[in-house]
Structure 1
Amino acid sequence: METVHKGSELGIIEIFRRERGFSDPRTFARRISAAEAIVKQIDLYGKLKGHNGCVNTIQFNSSGDLLVSGSDDQKIMFWNWATKTLEFLYPSGHLDNIFQVKIMPFTDDRKVVTSSADGQVRLGQVLDNGKVKTKKLGEHQGRVHSLAVEPGSPYVFYSCGEDGFVQHFDLRSNSPRKLFSCSSFADTKQSPRIISLNAIVIDPRNPNYFAIGGSDEFARVYDVRKYLSDCSGNLDAPVNTFCPHHLIETKTVHITSLAYSNTSELLVSYNDELIYLFQKNMGIGPYPLSIPHEDLQQLEEPQAYSGHRNLKTVKGVSFFGPRDEYVMSGSDCGHIFIWKKKGAKLLRVMVGDRRIVNQLEPHPHMPVIATSGLEKNIKLWAPLSNDVLPLPRNIQEIMESNRQGRENNSPVTLTPELIMHVLQLHRRRAMAHNERRHNRSDSESDEGGDEAYVLGLSGDDENSSECNIS
């Protein structure tokens, strides 16, 4: 194996600077955490066992000494992750699987907001006697996959649900405020539809802006000031949108997760597609369907991250490192993938679950990661190995299997041009069939065979009465 000293130039430089007194302990810790060799030393630290269902959500508190989790068992658990011990637990009051748990800042970890498949958004408050009081804060019509807490605020957070609504919560008020219902962009072909929402994140550099993603291809960015100051209506009016150019109007993908970096880069994970990193200048405006094709081609394409597969569950995506130097995601193949953010080089692949890895949570100050999936435990990862660990020997087979599964699952997009082409082809084949019957000839139509094969038409020429597109 490659030893740690061979691939850790940055680490050696930082150690030298620390020994010479050129960097303070906090700066040294942050810089050494970004070293590529440190990422390649990450290995399993331990498991947290206690939930009786899939663990769908995990979060470190701001100091990083506690980890909170929520599960299908409808319980909230607080862990001392370093000692791998359960501090305390409480029943959330939810009636279905918990999808999200967030600790409110500056509350001494005593206020926790949660959301669930039952549509409820709830508050758990730890009292002085150690008991926990829970209450319902609001509700959606359908599952609530995501919550977003305003940075530095002990009161304000947002929820988004499968009903398409974005709600604004302030713990100082009695009820939430429905900001708007997200709908698809109107075109001449069909009327707008409700977008079922899976993710909401707040820009850390400007908390007035938040992004949402759901059951279409567009990540939308909104300015909350427009809704809190304007009481005239709940119009769905994003200030910007982001989407890879080749996915616009595909109608075959949706967004499962979003993440903002500390410099306002937007990371977007698509269902059974790839992960994309957007810079702020890559937005396509509030009306993406109105952009001329030639103008779209002039815009810079986002960085893409591939190798994993995101089909069977609503997976998260996250940055990692003190300055968000890395990108990480779970996968249907049960592995954890870590890429270098710049250039998308795959650095580390680890087995994180026997089936599917869903959530990855980076520690706020240390090169430590918590992960969860379909198993009932939480796994902890830290740079413990004495060697720089290589990628798995079968990494090419893993990635190729994920790629083939993704491509085989991709449906054909039925554009009007394709539908018209198939109908014309079918009509020509029918005319040729009738002509053969009339002439009692076995000659084939000169346009039927090859095109039918490319489009995946089933059945033989004489017995097929309809064409099927695979």
Structure 2
Amino acid sequence: MGEFADKLAAQNPAFQRAYLGSLAPSLVKSGNLEKYYKTLTDFDFITAKINYPEFGVQPLIDDYDLIDGEETLNYSEYNSEKVKSLKLVQGALRLSAHILVTDKQQLASQLHGRLLNQKMPEEIQALLVQIRQRTTTPWLCTLTPSLTPSGGRLLRTLNGHSSSVNAVAVTPNGQQVISASDDNTLKVWNLATGEEQFTLNGHSNSVNAVAVTPNGQQVISASDDNTLKVWNLATGEEQFTLNGHSNSVNAVAVTPNGQQVISASYDNTLKVWNLATGEEQFTLKGHSYSVNAVAVTPNGQQVISGSIDSLKVWNLATGEEQFTLKGHSNSVNAVAVTPNGQQVISASDDSTLKVWNLATGEELFTLKGHSYSVKAVAVTPNGQQVISASNDKTLKVWNLATGGEQFTLIGHNSYVNAVAIIPNVQQVISASNDKTLKVWNLATGEQQFTLTEHNSSVNAIAVTANGQRVISASDDKTLKIWHLATGLELFSLRGHRTSVRAVAVTPDGKQVISGSVDNTLKIWNRLTGQELATLTGHFASVNTVAVTPDGKQVISGSVDNTLKIWNRLTGQELATLTGHNFSVNAVAVTPNGQQVISASDDNTLKVWNLETGEALFTLNGHNFSVNAVAVTPNGQQVISASRDNTLKVWNLVTGEELFTLKGHRDSVNAVAVTPNGQQMISASSDNTLKVWNLATGEVIATFIGESSINCCAVTPDRMTIVAGEQSGRVHFLRLEGMREESKEK
């Protein structure tokens, strides 16, 4: 342990509490900035403050803000370069806060992973060394940059909803965020700390939209249960319900004077409500399809609505339709008005945004850049920038004067459904199908960092027998070859027409076999990247592929419910194995090459005689789809991973279920066994990778990524674990902190 840890350990709890709480403030107040810098880059201090019951992540993050006081600038010890180091550490903690509040054991892997890719200042380099030297419990250490780094535009993630987040609103004072979700709830968050303050329960179906009154006292929500609800923001109490729509309510807006609410519905209408009484004042009829979006002009005189058919501008006082804006080639999903009330920006399923002159209805220009539907739009308070959110998983920031794209915000792992501006600071908050909200900085973070990643979900991973190369398969239609020691991408294999779902390597490491949603398998020369052959015969997506130990045969599993056995040298289909009732998701071959084990959406595994193609027996026990399967090196046990959130260990000789491993909170997507057969690694949609003791069923270490972890593999020397994420990231990890005697077993 370090000097700080030794001193703290020698004191009683009362001293520890007082010391941890007052240390940073007292150092800044006294002007002892050199010791302040040293303390806030001391891993023992960071660990102690996070783990002490009366503190935690946010009080530690607050300690780093103390350096920003104007009086500190006059101290002779003030060092701007060291301040930058502190901000990097603070940023890493903020990015990981939503993880650390639930699992403090993730501190080492999160902090190391987010600081590893900096052009590291001296203090950061020293901290990374401390993390590896002073973490005594087993942990998974990132070897290459693969977590979102500190210093970029992403500031914080808010995690708590159990389903897609559809909408977000910020209070006028910029202190609270309200989110609306498919989990039928709204959540109120403290924006400064990321803490969930309370949940608004009352809707009986998905909540699609949310708005806050100008005085910040009330929240209005719109739902698929055909209602709107009005809530007291201070207490979380439901005040009343607005009934009147005959179908889902898709959008809601509040007039600038806070007296009226306008709702847009799937019933093709908009309704105007008196917010004080809850009375419906009148209905705006004119759209012939679902109304998806609504906005009110800053003067409160006009309403703009967006539908599948067009945009319409209405006189709010009379309910009269003034004119229609036509130009999009698909549904309009969102609409915003500039602060001066002169322009309207619309977002559409045609992947574009359009800017309109509100006085004349003229289309001024189109913003092109998104590759899929644009779901949300917001305008900065100064009217100079537009922020859009899209199904392409990104947000884009545009210059409203020129229509030029300024930059893209990348970090969500699924559709981005909503975006809101945080008043008085250059920040925005977004909401996504990935169940999270993210806070972004528009002003800083211009530096770009290179992460180890694909452009889309990584579905499969394989490692060559010599442990020198890793091959990954992705939804971006490519396979990538990586240098294991450095994590550098060597080259890509391109040839599949759509997502690549499976990959295997021949025992000699010279060829790669891939399986794709295009129903084919391809054989590649790993050394040159040349495509050698295409195997056709499956009638649906190829989900999995394996090679026999002698390298002569390839086994594939498909959505067509079958397995096929192929001659690798000739490409000839040798046999088709039928017996599963649904998609075959995974396949493994025993070390002696005599048996094949398959896993299926029919909730079972089957054991086959490879020579005869006969199904020997079925392993029943999972109550949901079986996603993955692995065989121990001695060929005696099979491990299966399922969508029922568990892994099961089976006796391969008898077919008996030996035990079940529980610990994941979502589907288990992949499993791998270490070459010595003592540990196994599982990857899950709960964003975690777990290392298990196979003999005891205990979890040795956990790593938390930034999206669903879909696949994993272990190098032959047991030293490195490679995992692929839905986000496109490829993680190279090393298990550290194990006792030496444990390593030798």
* TM-score, scaled to structure 2: 0.33
**Structure 1 residues 316 and 210 mapped into 2: Cα distance closer, same or farther (>3 Å)?**
same
Cα distance between partner residues in 2 of 1:338 and 1:200: 21
Letter in 1 for 2:548: D
**Could you tell me which of 514, 520, 526 is aligned with 1:171?**
526
Q: 5 Å matches for 1:306-345?
A: 306-311=620-625, 315-320=627-632, 322-345=633-656
Amino acid at match of 2:457: N
The alpha-carbon distance between structure 1 residues 282 and 126, as it changes in their structure 2 partners (threshold 3 A), is closer
Indicate whether 1:161 and 2:516 are aligned.
yes
Structure-2 separation of matches of 1:49 and 1:356: 25
Taking a change above 3 Å as real, the CA distance of residues 88 and 324 of structure 1, as seen in their structure-2 partners, is same
Given the alignment, which residue of 299, 302, 321 partners 2:616?
A: 302
Q: What is aligned with 1:116?
A: 474
Identity %: 15
Alpha-carbon deviation of 1:199?
0.7
Please show how residues 12-411 of structure 1 align to structure 2 within 5 Å. 83-89=139-145, 91-106=451-466, 109-125=467-483, 130=486, 132-153=488-509, 155-183=510-538, 194-204=539-549, 206-227=550-571, 237-244=572-579, 247=580, 252-264=581-593, 265-283=595-613, 301-311=615-625, 315-320=627-632, 322-382=633-693
Residues 561 and 582, structure 2, Cα contact 8 Å, conserved in 1: yes
Structure 1 gaps, min length 5 = 1-45, 52-80, 184-193, 228-236, 284-299, 388-470
CA contact (8 A) 1:49 1:377 kept: no
Is the Cα–Cα contact under 8 Å of residues 585 and 601 in structure 2 kept in the other structure? Answer: yes
In 2, are the aligned partners of 1:262 and 1:323 still within 8 Å (CA)?
Answer: yes
Give the Cα–Cα distance (whole angstroms) in 1 for the partners of residues 139 and 589 of structure 2: 30
Count of aligned pairs between the two proteins = 265
Distance 2:697 2:473 in 1: 40
Gap change, CA 1:316 and 1:126, over 3 Å in 2: closer
Q: Using the alignment, how far apart are the partners of 1:103 and 1:49 within structure 2?
A: 26
- Distance of 2:478 and 2:667 partners within structure 1: 26
State the 1:270 CA deviation: 1.5
Q: Report Cα offsets for 1:269-306 as digits up to 9, x if no partner.
A: 121241100113442xxxxxxxxxxxxxxxx6421111
- Aligned AA (1:242): L
* Deviation of 1:352 (Å): 3.2
Amino acid at match of 2:600: Y
Letter in 2 for 1:368: Q
**Cα 1:318/1:386, change in 2 over 3 Å:** closer
Counterparts in 2 of 1:254 and 1:124: CA distance versus 1, 3 Å:
same
Q: Which amino acid aligns with 2:619?
A: Y
d(CA) in 2 for partners of 1:262 and 1:131?
A: 29
Higher relative contact order by CA 8 Å / sep ≥ 6: 1 or 2? 1
Partner of 2:597, secondary structure, is: strand
TM superposition shift of 1:218: 2.1
Give, in whole Å, the separation in 2 of the partners of 1:304 and 1:119: 34
> Runs (4+) of structure 1 moved beyond 6 Å?
46-49
Between the aligned partners of 1:201 and 1:386, the Cα distance in structure 2 is 27
Cα distance, 1:86 vs. partner? 2.2
Is the contact between residue 336 and residue 351 of structure 1 (CA under 8 Å) also seen in structure 2?
Answer: yes
Query: Offset of 1:174 from its aligned partner?
Result: 4.5
Q: Does the CA-based 8 Å contact 1:272-1:309 persist in structure 2?
A: no
CA deviations over 1:105-148 (Å, ceiling 9, x no partner): 33xx4432211111111122368xx5724432223122111111
Aligned equivalents of 2:648 and 2:655: distance in 1?
A: 11
For residues 417-439 of structure 1, the C-alpha deviation after alignment (integer angstroms, 9 at most, x for no partner) is xxxxxxxxxxxxxxxxxxxxxxx
Amino acid at match of 1:345: E
What amino acid is aligned across from residue 507 of structure 2 in structure 1? P
Which one has the bigger strand percentage?
Answer: 2
Letter in 2 for 1:279: N
1:133-166, Cα deviation, whole Å (9 max, x unpaired): 443222312211111100132x321111010121
- Give the drift of 1:213: 1.0
Counterpart residue type for residue 474 of structure 2: S
CA distance in 1, matches of 2:107, 2:664: 13
User: Is the alpha carbon distance of 1:96 and 1:208 closer, same or farther for their aligned partners in structure 2, counting shifts above 3 Å?
Assistant: same
CA contact (8 A) 2:480 2:489 kept: no
- Check the 8 A contact 2:452/2:488 in 1, yes or no: no
CA contact (8 A) 2:502 2:543 kept: yes
Distance in 1, matches of 2:527 and 2:586, equals 29
2:107 & 2:472 partners in 1: Cα distance? 20
Tell me the alpha carbon deviations over residues 217-247 of structure 1, each in whole angstroms, 9 at most, x when there is no partner. 32111112214xxxxxxxxx41122223xx5
Structure 1 pair 309/168, CA: closer, same or farther in 2 (3 Å)? Answer: same
CA gap 1:385/1:308 in 2 versus in 1, 3 angstroms: closer
Task: Structure 2 unaligned segments of length 5 or more: list them.
Answer: 1-104, 111-136, 147-450, 699-745
Match of 1:60 in 2: none
Match of 1:390 in 2: none
Confirm or deny: 8 A CA contact 2:553 2:566 kept in the other structure. yes
Distance 1:131 1:121 in 2: 15
* Kept after mapping to 1: 8 A contact 2:591/2:635: yes
Q: Contact 1:325–1:340 at 8 Å: present in 2 too? A: yes
The answer to whether the 8 Å contact 1:209/1:222 transfers is yes
Residue 93 (structure 1) shift:
4.5
C-alpha separation in 2, matches of 1:329 and 1:356: 12
2: distance between equivalents of 1:276 and 1:92? 36
Contact 1:113 1:122 in 2 (8 A): yes
CA RMSD of aligned residues (A): 3.0
CA distance in 2, matches of 1:92, 1:118: 14
| C-alpha distance 343-117 of structure 1, shift in aligned 2 (>3 A) | same
Name the SS of the counterpart of 1:152 in structure 2. Answer: coil
Q: What is the Cα deviation at residue 173 of structure 1?
A: 2.6
Which residue of structure 2 lines up, in the alignment, with residue 42 of structure 1?
none
Q: Distance in 1 between the 2:567 and 2:489 partners?
A: 33
Q: Distance in 2 between matches of 1:386 and 1:355?
A: 18
Residue aligned with 2:500, SS: coil
Show the 5 A alignment for 1:419-458: none
The structure that has the greater radius of gyration is 2
Contact persistence 2:634–2:677 (CA under 8 A): no
Q: Distance in 2 between matches of 1:349 and 1:131?
A: 34
Separation (CA, whole Å) in 2 of partners of 1:302 and 1:97 = 35
SS at match of 1:330: strand
Please give the secondary structure, in 1, of the residue aligned with 2:570. helix
Q: Distance in 1 between matches of 2:472 and 2:140?
A: 23
Take 2:106 and 2:669, find their aligned partners in 1: how far apart are those partners?
16
Rounded Cα–Cα distance in structure 1 between residues aligned with 2:503 and 2:484: 20
